Amino acid sequence: MEEVDHLAHERNKAQFDVEAMKIVWAGSRHAFEVSDRMSRLVASDPAFRKDNRATLSRKELFKNTLRKAAYAWKRIVELHLSEEEASKLRFFVDEPAYTDLHWGMFVPAIKGQGTDEQHQKWLTLAYKMQIIGCYAQTELGHGSNVQGLETTATFDPKSDEFIIHSPTLTSSKWWPGGLGKVSTHAVIYARLIIDGRDHGVHGFIVQLRSLDDHLPLPGITIGDIGMKFGNGAYNTMDNGVLQFNHVRIPRNQMLMRVSQVTREGKYVQSDVPRQLVYGTMVYVRQTIVSDASSALSRAVCVAVRYSAVRRQFGSQDGGPETQVIDYKTQQSRLFPLLASAYAFRFVGEWLKWLYMDVTKRLQANEFSTLPEAHACTAGLKSLTTTATADGIEECRKLCGGHGYLCSSGLPELFAVYVPACTYEGDNTVLLLQVARFLMKTVSQLGSGKQLVGTTAYMQRAEHLMQCTSDVRSAEDWLKPSFILEAFEARALRLAVTCAKNISKAPNPEEGFSQLSPDLAEAAVAHCQLIVVSKFIDKIQGDIDGMGLKEQLQALCGIYALSLLHKHLGEFLSTGCITPKQAALANEKLRSLYAKVRPNAVALVDAFNYTDHFLGSILGRYDGNVYPKLYEEAWKDPLNDSVVPDGYHEYVRPLLKQQLRTAKL
Ligand SMILES: CCCCCCCCCC/C=C\CCC/C=C/C(=O)SCCNC(=O)CCNC(=O)[C@H](O)C(C)(C)COP(=O)(O)OP(=O)(O)OC[C@H]1O[C@@H](n2cnc3c(N)ncnc32)[C@H](O)[C@@H]1OP(=O)(O)O
Ligand SMILES: Cc1cc2nc3c(=O)[nH]c(=O)nc-3n(C[C@H](O)[C@H](O)[C@H](O)COP(=O)(O)OP(=O)(O)OC[C@H]3O[C@@H](n4cnc5c(N)ncnc54)[C@H](O)[C@@H]3O)c2cc1C
């Protein structure tokens, strides 16, 4: 049968080169080609089927994930895939699994905190998956407060070993992914105790299960922590619980790049800052920002395509009804999310660069940019995951009733995504880290210290504290200098106000605590400025292809001006803009929505997602939604029989009783 593209009329309206935009979205032609190849490889292989996840029991679901992970590894080895290709393949398999933690945290923790010798021994095994590892930091009693961890690693000079122990119930490791049922090893975080002295939290490599029969080693109690939010979703992951009862490991299994324990039991702190013990979190937070753009773009792709297919009201003389994407309210909810997906992509690219830069510097024992890298990764992780989780839910609502069906793909995407607001640092806790960094920076203003990186704008404090915007027309709001000045002035003024209020408190800690809601808002303002400025930088760089710059400028304008609208109170109360200028910003926003409208479907096509990856009937490339929704409904296990199980036990007796009552 001939395939019909129900969205062809939308695609024909596009005013830019979609193929060129695919390259910009991917980051480079090479990245596009790898991504395209891996996504097709996964989509065309029935072993990676995922449309049945919502109906599987936990055990079936989990076993299915183990099968897929093993099969993915087999294909990676058979096809001699590079690290980049393998990681893309796993991404397109699109099922959280223990391998995420093995490759995403266990290996990076050893790389970042281990010595050359430790790399040689452990990475060799881990790269071949001869051992499988996880990252066991969080405990039942403490997640955010890493310094509060209770697990102990006590040095025994007689045997040259550490004794790993869980002294309390609350010290049980709790949450690590891959721990519950699969990992053979873990990097665990424990308090280092030497001669009764507590040297704080350090990382240790500990074997958990036998490599022969997979049973826990002596002294180790281990299991899964139970079902999590949503069906399917993150339940493919074995988040685990772990207790140690005086488990002994050799001294050389402490990760010793940051500090060492000698044979004699002497604690040696190298020149490397202690905070490097937190280094794996910096790495993962950076990857989470790129993941945010993937998750949000996926939801937006579904909502844009479906909004172009769906029609409601507006039919006069029997003609077609209005496509819901043409409603201005739909556009004002949807297009800022489309713009955010692009914005997060570009800031994610920049953050990757920043992370690589700080890593190179650390290798050369240059640590000055570490605080900035920590603040940027923490803040942007918080900002982008909050916006993405909210955005996925908004996309579900934008799809009306059908968005609530699992076959829309959106409920599962939300359920799998929403813990990103908590893992790798609770989003509020992370904003407060950014706020501390900002308060330090503000305290240095006027000291003559040169401010660099993302706080360089504060150098112009004298101007930014008193300027008023020069915007005179709606068109002015497209000029990067006007947008940047408004965002810089708002961020700086919020931060300075916090600093002033803190200084009135009896002591800085008390002040920080009292002001923390305002500090979190100041941190958000600073992070939004970073995203806006990196979007502008991207557009000002090399962008080839017909119409690309115009579309990206429109999206950048939508991102910035929709934020300005959302946080209008802050822009007005800090005096950065006037009510008249706010009205002009709204006028510009409306015209940008109109500009993006004919390009919306093409702008989501540029994500280059296969129907397999999207996993959504509403978001199908061909827009053939209704027949496929109808077809899908009949596949539900409830429809296996016409009369459901339970009818004879529970429904029929009721009906009979009613009949009897009626006769009475
Ligand atoms: C299409 C997509 C579909 C989606 C599919 C999804 C699939 C899923 C894939 C899987 C992906 C991910 C899996 C997730 C796995 C999750 C793992 C985890 O969660 S691991 C555990 C993470 N835990 C945390 O993040 C804990 C948070 N807490 C902390 O980080 C700290 O304790 C902190 C920072 C809050 C407090 O630290 P501390 O107690 O030391 O106090 P201070 O605030 O005083 O800090 C001291 C000093 O250190 C500096 N600092 C803090 N952190 C860092 C750091 N990381 N790097 C550098 N420096 C740091 C801080 O600024 C202070 O500096 P100073 O100069 O003294 O002021
Ligand atoms: C799906 C998932 C996977 C995970 N995977 C892993 C893993 O692989 N390895 C691992 O080690 N851990 C893992 N974790 C644990 C995760 O890192 C922690 O849950 C996270 O760091 C939050 O810590 P918490 O649970 O202690 O939250 P809490 O700190 O208890 O937060 C509870 C509330 O208190 C607030 N709060 C806490 N402290 C402050 C403060 N100082 N100021 C203001 N408000 C505050 C928070 O904002 C939040 O609202 C995972 C968690 C989840 C949900």
pLDDT per residue over 65-120, tens digit each? Answer: 999 999 999 999 999 999 999 999 999 999 999 999 999 999 999 999 999 999 99
Tokens of 403: 């968005």
- The answer to whether residue 128 scores a pLDDT higher than 70 is yes
What integer pLDDT is reported at residue 315 of this predicted model?
77
Contacts of 117 (CB under 8 A, 6+ apart): 252
Closest-lying ligand 1 atom to the alpha carbon of residue 377? 55
The H helix count followed by the E strand count for the chain is: 25, 13
Q: Give the single-character DSSP code of 111.
A: H
The pLDDT-based confidence of 271 (bands split at 50, 70, 90) is confident
pLDDT over 80 (residue 3): no
Does the beta carbon of 90 lie inside 6 Å of ligand 1? Answer: no
pLDDT digits (tens, 9 = 90+) for 625-642: 999 999 999 999 999 999
- Mean pLDDT, range 5-34, rounded to an integer: 97
Q: For 168-187, what is the mean pLDDT? A: 98
Q: Ligand 1, from 87, 142, 146: best to mutate by most atoms within 8 Å of Cβ?
A: 146
Calculate the CA 489 to chain-centre distance: 28
Q: Give me the mean pLDDT over the 262-280 stretch.
A: 92
The answer, yes or no, to whether any atom of ligand 1 lies below 6 A from the CB of 298, is: yes
pLDDT band at 270; cut points 50, 70, 90: confident
**Which residues contact residue 297 at a Cβ distance below 8 angstroms, ignoring those fewer than 6 apart?**
341, 345, 604, 607, 609
pLDDT band, residue 54 (cuts 50/70/90): confident
pLDDT value, residue 420: 98
Q: Which helix (H) or strand (E) holds 15?
A: none
Average pLDDT, stretch 603-609?
Answer: 98
- The pLDDT, as a whole number, for residue 196 is 98
Q: What's the confidence (pLDDT) of residue 2?
A: 61
- What average pLDDT does range 512-532 have in this prediction? 98
CA of 60 to the centre of ligand 2 (A): 29
User: Looking at residues 577-588, what average pLDDT do you find?
Assistant: 98
pLDDT average, residue stretch 301-317: 93
Active site residues: 424
Can you tell me the distance from the alpha carbon of 413 to that of 411, in angstroms, rounded to the nearest whole number? Answer: 5
Distance (Å, whole) CA 355 – CA 363: 12
Q: Hey, which residues does 241 pair with through a beta bridge? A: 174, 223
**209 backbone dihedrals φ, ψ, rounded to 5°:** -125, 155
Dist. CA 242–CA 221, nearest whole Å: 6
Using DSSP, state whether 435 is helix, strand or coil: helix
Q: How confident is the model at residue 290 (pLDDT cuts 50, 70, 90)?
A: very high
DSSP state, residue 209? B
Q: Which two tokens stand for residue 216?
A: 């826990």
In the predicted model, what is the mean pLDDT of residues 455-475?
Answer: 97
CA-based angle 400:404:409, to the nearest 5? 110
**CA 102/CA 187 separation, integer angstroms:** 10
Element (H, E) at 175: none
Read off the pLDDT of each residue in 194-213 and give the average, rounded to a whole number: 98
Q: Using an 8 Å Cβ cutoff, are 18 and 606 in contact? A: yes
Ligand closest to 388 (CA) is 1
Per the listing, tokens 């800052």 go with: 273
Amino acid identity, residue 504? K
Q: How far is the CA of 263 from the centre of ligand 2 (A)?
A: 36
- Proportion of the chain above pLDDT 90, given as a percent: 94
The pLDDT assigned to 661 comes to 65
- Residues lining ligand 2, CB < 6 A? 101, 135-138, 143-144, 175-177, 234, 239, 419, 422-423, 425-426, 428-429, 432
If you average pLDDT over every residue of the chain, what do you get? 96
Q: Tell me the CA distances in angstroms from 241 to 138, 170, 418, 647, one per residue in order.
A: 10, 11, 21, 41
- Provide, rounded to the nearest whole percent, the portion of the chain with pLDDT above 70: 99
- Ligand (nearest to CA of 426): 2
Q: For residue range 482-494, what is the model confidence (pLDDT) as tens digits? A: 999 999 999 999 9
Residue 265 in contact with residue 271, Cβ under 8 Å? no
Global pTM reads: 0.97
Q: Which ligand is nearest to the CA of 135?
A: 2
Ligand 1 centroid vs 282 CA: distance in angstroms?
Answer: 7
Q: What is the pLDDT of residues 346-382, one digit of tens each?
A: 999 999 999 999 999 988 889 999 999 999 999 999 9
C-alpha–C-alpha distance, residues 268 and 564, integer Å: 50
Q: Which helix (DSSP H) or strand (DSSP E) does residue 163 occupy?
A: strand 161-165
